[in-house]
Structure 1
Amino acid sequence: MIHIARWKMVLIVLVSILSILYTVPSFLDQKTKDWLAANAPAWVPSRSVSLGLDLRGGSHLLLEADIDSVIKQKTEDAATALRTELRKQKIEFSNVSTIQNGIKLELKPQADMIAAEKELRRIDDTFVVSRDGSVLQAVYDERALKTIRTQTLAQSIEIVERRVNETGTREPIIQRQGDTRILVQLPGVENPERIKELMGRTAKLTFHLVDLDGSGVDARLLPMHDEPAQKISIKRRVIMSGDMLVQAQPSFQEGAPVVSFKLNAIGSRRFCDVTTQNVNKPFAVVLDGEVITAPNINSAICGGQAIISGSFSVQEASDLALLLRAGALPTTLTVVEERSVGPTLGSDSVNAGAFASLVAFGLVVALMLVCYGLFGLFASVALVINLCLTFTVMTMIGATLTLPGIAGLVLTIGQAVDANVLIFERMKEEIRAGRSVMSAIDTGYQKAMSSIIDSNLTALISGAILYAVGTGPIKGFAVTLTIGILTSLFSAIMLTRMMLLIWLKKTKAKTIPIM
């Protein structure tokens, strides 16, 4: 016999009501949504479905990370560290140089080969070390290179997210694309020039002592930020790095824009020690390969707070503080693709998509009412709940609705009533075979279930394949279609069945109104 437990009925009604409540904010204007978020209780739904660039308008940027420079920097750092350790261990060598994806160590004949190889492995245990006479070569294998690429891209994405969020951009989409690229979508941003400038700067901040001799392998010659023609020699050894900063804010000193910063405990102690030991000596503040300033250390700086001064404008000081707060990128990001969608075009797409959805919904409802009467009305109510459930799930998982996604939504409307059509047609057959209404409804659901599962499973497999092999727009279509199919199983089977049961108990009908 057809029967639904009372607790199941309560749960179905509760899920249906919640789906409507969670859908409402998606159809409110931005001002109302902001008011809800600020004034309504925390339990009141205020989030809405995120719209993609093709619906909302905005900018699309594709960034490429310079992975080769990261590998080169790692090998140079390893070479510098190796020279220092070999001197400490008194291992004699004639040369330490970098090669592709690694370093090359040339030892003197009397040098301890085993000790040198041990130092090489200790500096970086991912090196693959080979020996040829008195020459040792340490290179990264493919596994190590893949790890470097993955870590670099993951760190870059995290830093880009921080920088974009600091600018106040709402609902940005930032995700990995391939092995070396990052996709950045900025809804509502028509002119992304400032964003591009912020993301194009590595913001690698380091502090070095100035090399007064200006020679030697441990010295570097860098240009001044204000006067690129003027160069200054600094020591390669990093006293402090930007990751020791816990706060950075734009400020003013004697009327000039500066950036004030605060160091963490380790940075404060190290800065204090270095400035104490090097009073009356200059030190350099280096940002992205340029010396911002090279002041003289007049006294020990032990408070953990200092400023970076230079010929900054107010905007430059503000941007530099933002970059330092967000952290340094591990490598340079280059814009390889840029597209912009105007808000008018996005609005037109929304209107066209809404019109297409309403037409599809209206035609489906009309067909169901004509063919199945009251039962068609029940199916139409379930269809509305299914659309609400689709929007609710998309809101909760943070999915983005795109123009292809609307196409998936329209397709879902037809797919959602397919289950009811199968059930209703089966009921008609059972009535014609002489069964009672109760028996026909029960048998209709039981015997139609296998066909419903088969058809929906086929569509789900197609959606999964589209999501797995497709790119942005195709993924949007696949996500909407998949969510709609899954929610239709609830609305078309459980919700419609509950409405039929209530109708049957209330009317005690002797026949079904779909003949």
Structure 2
Amino acid sequence: MRTHRTVTAAALTLALATLAPVLAACSSSDSPADKDAVRAVDPRPSGSTASGRTVATYTPATAMSASDLATTVERLKARAAAFGLDGTRIERHGSLITADAPGDSGDRLRQLAATAELTFRAVKGDRAARPADVRQRFNALTCPATGTPPLSEPLEPMPACDSDTGRKLLLGPVVLDGEDVKSAKSDLNTGGGTDWVINLSFTDRGAQDFATVTTDLSQQTPPADQFAILLDDKILSAPTVQQAITGGEAQITGDFTRQRAENLAALISTGALPVRLTVSDVARQP
């Protein structure tokens, strides 16, 4: 098991993407008139040599308004394009949504439905006060965690597994989220090696809040000097903060392949879906 590392290590970390000092660990009808269909216009092949098509059906976990349904369709459209799923059709049928892509695209269509809620939470020390329900969930959590974690409350602390060290961490309330991120792009790690990274650029408000939070964390003692970045309540990185980050940009680095980095950047850039979707069916068609 690897130990926790700083931003200069190959493990998951967070760092400035500039020349500034590096952060150490740095309800709807289903009539034809009410159906939305989106087809990618890029003529390039989807990258799959398999014939036929793959159709995935997505079911909302909770009831969706017409506005949320329309937003979900548009964001799935943007994700399909960013994923390189050219020729994909996104359609709604009442409260259900389907994605129809060329070739054997099941795995990527499953990834397409991720809620992709990006959040930032400070790591709390072992002696931090824990409400009874949080203490119970913390004690019940086994790392590495499997399956989809239950939805957390943004203003409440939560337990989570550090994907790098395998340790259980107690995290504080959300201090920044995906609305504070202006863009996310994948790139090859310029620090050497073959790992890929995700470069984040914050909004003006996000940059100010991030600077404030990292200033405070840099003055804490371990493990309360760590900052966790989560996607759908799963930790991507939990770096140690040694200096305030004031440049408005950051970088998520780790053992990412090009495809993994590109998919993460696409999910972050297109924004979180208004509601969690369940992939209720994936079927191949001739």
Which of the two has greater strand per residue?
2
- Contact 1:163–1:198 (Cα < 8 Å) also in 2: no
- What TM-score does the superposition give when structure 2 sets the normalisation length? 0.64
**Number of matched residues?**
205
1:64 to 50, 59, 62: 59
Q: Does 1:205 align with 2:118?
A: yes
Determine the structure 1 residue equivalent to 2:130. Answer: 216
1:69-148 equivalence runs, <5 A: 148=64
| Alpha-carbon spacing, 1:226–1:313, altered in 2? closer, same or farther (3 Å) | farther
Q: Does 1:314 align with 2:258?
A: yes
SS of the equivalent of 1:310 reads strand
How big is the shift at 1:298? 1.3
**How many percent identity over aligned positions?**
26
Determine the structure 2 residue equivalent to 1:25. Answer: none
How big is the shift at 1:254? 4.0
SS of the equivalent of 2:256 reads coil
- Contact 1:250–1:260 (Cα < 8 Å) also in 2: yes
Highest CA radius of gyration, 1 or 2?
Answer: 1
- Contact 1:207–1:239 (Cα < 8 Å) also in 2: yes
How big is the shift at 1:214? 4.2
Amino acid at match of 2:204: A
SS of the equivalent of 1:311 reads strand
Could you list the runs of 5+ residues in structure 1 that have no partner in the other structure?
A: 1-33, 35-55, 68-145, 343-515
Give distance in 1, aligned partners of 2:52 and 2:279: 19
1:182 to 66, 90, 97: 97
- What TM-score does the superposition give when structure 1 sets the normalisation length? 0.37
Give distance in 2, aligned partners of 1:257 and 1:167: 16
For residues 232-283 of structure 1, the C-alpha deviation after alignment (integer angstroms, 9 at most, x for no partner) is 11002x1111122222122314423221111111111111122223324221
Give distance in 2, aligned partners of 1:206 and 1:327: 12
| Alpha-carbon spacing, 1:263–1:291, altered in 2? closer, same or farther (3 Å) | same
Q: Does 1:150 align with 2:66?
A: yes
SS of the equivalent of 1:210 reads strand
SS of the equivalent of 1:221 reads strand
Q: How well do the aligned residues superpose, as a CA RMSD in angstroms? A: 2.4
Which of the two has greater helix per residue?
1
Give distance in 2, aligned partners of 1:297 and 1:62: 42
How big is the shift at 1:65? 1.5
Could you list the runs of 5+ residues in structure 2 that have no partner in the other structure?
A: 1-42, 44-50, 132-155, 220-224
1:107-506 equivalence runs, <5 A: 148-179=64-95, 181-186=96-101, 189-212=102-125, 213-217=127-131, 218-226=156-164, 229-236=166-173, 238-251=174-187, 252=189, 253-255=191-193, 256-280=195-219, 281-342=225-286
Determine the structure 2 residue equivalent to 1:393. Answer: none
| Alpha-carbon spacing, 1:153–1:215, altered in 2? closer, same or farther (3 Å) | farther
Determine the structure 2 residue equivalent to 1:18. Answer: none
Structure possessing the higher relative contact order (Cα contacts under 8 Å, 6 or more residues apart):
2
Give distance in 1, aligned partners of 2:253 and 2:247: 18
Determine the structure 1 residue equivalent to 2:141. Answer: none
